[in-house]
Structure 1
Amino acid sequence: MPGFAVVLALIAAVAYATFLLEHLLSPDLDGINGYVSELSAVDQPYHDVYSGGDLVTGLLTMVVAGIALGRLRHRPWSRAGWIFLLLFGVFAVGDATFPLDCAPSMESRCALLERSENVSFAHQFHSVTSSFVVVFGVLAMLTLSIASRRYGWWPSLGHFGWLIALAECVAGTATLLAMLVGQWLGIVQRVQISILCLGLLVIAWALYADRRAPRAAPPGREPPSRRERCHERLGRVDRGGRERTGARGRERPPDGPPLLVTSGLGGAWFDWAPTLARLDGTYRLTVFDRPGLGRSPAGNAPPSLRREVAILAGLAARAGEPVTVVAHSMGGFHAEAFARQRPDLVKAMVLVDPSYEHDPSCKVRLSAAAEPVTRAIGAAVGATRLPWLLGPAGRRFALKFASRRDEPVPADVVRSVYGRGTVLATMLGEELAYREMAVDLEGLRERLPFPPIPLVVLTALGDVKNPRKAREWAEGHRRLAEMTPYGRQVELPGDLHLLQLDRPDAIADAVAEVHARRPGDGLGDGFAGEAAGEGS
């Protein structure tokens, strides 16, 4: 569990205790008989302070629960506990979003309006959100306590979670009795909220203690699934820094030139199946999924040019000699940056309809700051199992705009990839990082030269309907081809973006072409001489 998640849980617990400020900010409210929610009533001074505390608690709790769902082992009781905590956060946000109109314990007019139901929807709905906050708070503490005792995780939750859940139930019952009697409601409700704050503190401490525990394999950490273990037996796992990247390779022939294949945004290894079938037997092939994509585990760092270059360098170094890089779409950013920073590891390159930005700009960098949010979204959506149900259909829908052929693998393989919440979170993260990478690459272009290696740039124009945009796209690729004196662009006017599915022949020809050339030779036949016939 990352350290910042512990800090977020601690902040959530403290923010939920803003009612303690009432003696300084709202001394006129009745702390003995008045609702705590009256502090955040729209007509009360400093109501934004109290509503803001609920909002911060809800959002941070959702992030913590989302990270736990994404990072920690999925067992029935622990998964239920983190989902309940996530729902606690949702309804805490609801408390802040739907405040009371006024304070009925202080104003007779407000009490009369409330009894005659002449108040806003937010005022009426607030009782619903407050009730569910308590319900899901109790369920979260109870199920996490059961998970702790059953699986041997988070000892503090095992010791105190069930006690906090029991105390909250007692306090909730006392709140109902106080409402019937009409006295002591304020005191009982403040005790009830204090117990919830204590529960959040215990969760923060449990995560901190689990992070600090000296064990070789933390029991709260998610182990490789059966599919991932099979994946690692079939392929290999590379560590670029602290990142784990699923890589599939074929080592035959052992003396074949090494080929390193990388996908675009949200791509998976099986997109390359038709192309690899043409290349197999001639090259030593390595096709990999970036962290969080395909069946690879989530990354430890957000997507960035620095991270992707480190991963490519780790995979290339393992080959024992300079590699030929084949990169698609946004992977072209990574491949170019890799060649500029590590020219010693790159022999040649084929860019398959690569991304290109004519004038990249990025006023605000959001990818690193948004990583916890994207992880939480992915974990939350993944916990609903909706990606598992809808992932293949969403993939087919997207494929219609980028390819003219069907999936190269069975539906269950597609579901095993695009049914993961981690993949959704990674795709969101890569989308946020796209312009940042483009700007960083532009900076590299100003500082570091591109090595004089053979290069072929394949340009798909079949999905660019606007003639002006088609010319701009082709012009950008022409500039990429001109990065090296041994570069060439090949235009494919009728083909769509996923050339590795639709035109494996064009990619195989490009790979053979760059291997037929050695830097230092003249632009002879077979490298530049056939461009006209292919539309370059």
Structure 2
Amino acid sequence: MSSRRRSYSHAVAWVSGLAWAAGCLTPALAEGRRHRVGSADIAVNEMGSAGPVVVLEAGRGKDMQSWALVAPALASCMRVIRYDRPGIGGSAASAPDQVVLADTVADQLLVLLRTLDLAPPYILVGHSLGGLYVQAFARLHPTATAAVVLVDATSPAEPPGVFVSPTPPASGTVAAAEEAGVPPSIAAMNSGPPFPPVPLIVLAATDHGDTLEREALWRDVQVRTAALSPRGRLIVVEGSGHFVQQDKPAAVIQAVLQAAEMAGFDTSDCRA
């Protein structure tokens, strides 16, 4: 099912050196500054000084540190933005929400990027539930979207209720509010604007510790997700668990560079 070309394995071998170096140089990256967005104080980490803006969106209840093995390697040719959603990591909690909707996260992200004075279009990278959030961004703000990379991401193509976590997050937590927002967010997405015809790379992990039947169903979901854009591509990351950016960071780095190049950006400084 993989759409990887023969050259992909060579590219990943090359870029793995970048990921290894990034991990050695940055055992713990600083959270950066907080920025006021509406009623929330958002912690942001910015890396790089030139090139397209790439936004890294973490999964359910996770903070920006989940991208620590990916961000530095991309900063050679891009402006890399990592941030913590309200109540996560270094961001202050805002008014408690019972449900966090993807559209709300997407609109808040756009305001944050404008506050940072970062001009669109943006390359959006989302892991897990963060992938649903960047899909909402692309649908709501297509002219601000250059490309999208989904990392083993939640998808509107999922059968309802099939891929629910066996261990629900604790009641009253941000993770619980984000989890509660998945069904209404998917419903809104399926009835709202279509995914724009931008470059879309979908990374699918293979080792979730699940049954062969469920792994095959997850792969099918990712195939259908890649088909949302006429410029969509599926890349199967063999041997990776759900956190691809930690298990196989080189695959994520290469996917982002590929998406940037498909969108017409120069990534030669990252490949130098």
Sort the TM-score into its range (normalised by shorter chain): 0.7 to 0.9
Cα distance in 2, alignment partners of residues 290 and 280 from structure 1: 21
2:56 is equivalent to residue 261 of structure 1: yes
Aligned pairs for 1:201-280 within 5 A:
231=31, 234-239=32-37, 241-250=38-47, 252-253=48-49, 255-280=50-75
Q: CA deviation at 1:281?
A: 1.8
Give the corresponding residue for 1:427: 175
Given the superposition, is the C-alpha separation of residues 472 and 265 from structure 1 closer, same or farther in structure 2, using an over 3 Å criterion? same
Pick from 228, 231, 255: which aligns with 1:483?
A: 228
CA RMSD of the aligned region, Å? 2.1
Given the superposition, is the C-alpha separation of residues 301 and 442 from structure 1 closer, same or farther in structure 2, using an over 3 Å criterion? farther
Fraction of identical pairs, as percent = 27
> In structure 2, what residue type is equivalent to 1:354?
A
Aligned pairs for 1:104-119 within 5 A:
none
> In structure 1, what residue type is equivalent to 2:104?
R
Given the superposition, is the C-alpha separation of residues 510 and 238 from structure 1 closer, same or farther in structure 2, using an over 3 Å criterion? farther
Q: Select the structure of larger CA radius of gyration.
A: 1
Cα distance in 2, alignment partners of residues 430 and 518 from structure 1: 30
Cα distance in 2, alignment partners of residues 487 and 243 from structure 1: 34
The answer (yes or no) to whether the contact 1:360–1:439 under 8 Å persists in 2 is: no
> In structure 2, what residue type is equivalent to 1:355?
T
Gaps of 5+ in 2: 1-29, 162-169, 265-272
Q: CA deviation at 1:449?
A: 1.8
Give the corresponding residue for 1:450: 195
Q: CA deviation at 1:245?
A: 2.0
> In structure 1, what residue type is equivalent to 2:138?
A
Given the superposition, is the C-alpha separation of residues 307 and 301 from structure 1 closer, same or farther in structure 2, using an over 3 Å criterion? farther
Q: CA deviation at 1:238?
A: 4.6
Give the corresponding residue for 1:359: 159
Gaps of 5+ in 1: 1-229, 362-372, 376-424, 520-536
Given the superposition, is the C-alpha separation of residues 518 and 268 from structure 1 closer, same or farther in structure 2, using an over 3 Å criterion? closer
Cα distance in 1, alignment partners of residues 153 and 46 from structure 2: 23
Name whichever structure is richer in strand by fraction: 2
2:189 is equivalent to residue 441 of structure 1: yes
Q: CA deviation at 1:301?
A: 5.5
Pick from 253, 258, 263: which aligns with 1:513?
A: 258
1:425-475: CA deviations, max 9, x gaps?
A: 21222222222322222222xxx1211111100001111431111111111
Give the corresponding residue for 2:246: 501
SS of the aligned residue for 1:319 comes to: coil
2:103 is equivalent to residue 306 of structure 1: yes
Give the corresponding residue for 1:325: 124
Q: CA deviation at 1:488?
A: 0.2
The answer (yes or no) to whether the contact 1:256–1:283 under 8 Å persists in 2 is: yes
Q: CA deviation at 1:266?
A: 1.4
Cα distance in 1, alignment partners of residues 158 and 234 from structure 2: 17
Name whichever structure is richer in helix by fraction: 1
Cα distance in 1, alignment partners of residues 194 and 103 from structure 2: 17
> In structure 2, what residue type is equivalent to 1:516?
E
SS of the aligned residue for 1:509 comes to: helix
Which one has more relative contact order, counting CA pairs under 8 Å at least 6 apart?
2
Task: State the TM-score, normalizing by the size of structure 2.
Answer: 0.76
1:109-130: CA deviations, max 9, x gaps?
A: xxxxxxxxxxxxxxxxxxxxxx
The answer (yes or no) to whether the contact 1:328–1:353 under 8 Å persists in 2 is: yes
Q: CA deviation at 1:493?
A: 2.7
Q: CA deviation at 1:481?
A: 0.8
Given the superposition, is the C-alpha separation of residues 452 and 300 from structure 1 closer, same or farther in structure 2, using an over 3 Å criterion? same
Q: CA deviation at 1:292?
A: 0.7
1:235-287: CA deviations, max 9, x gaps?
A: 34251x4333211112x33x311111110101111111111122122110110
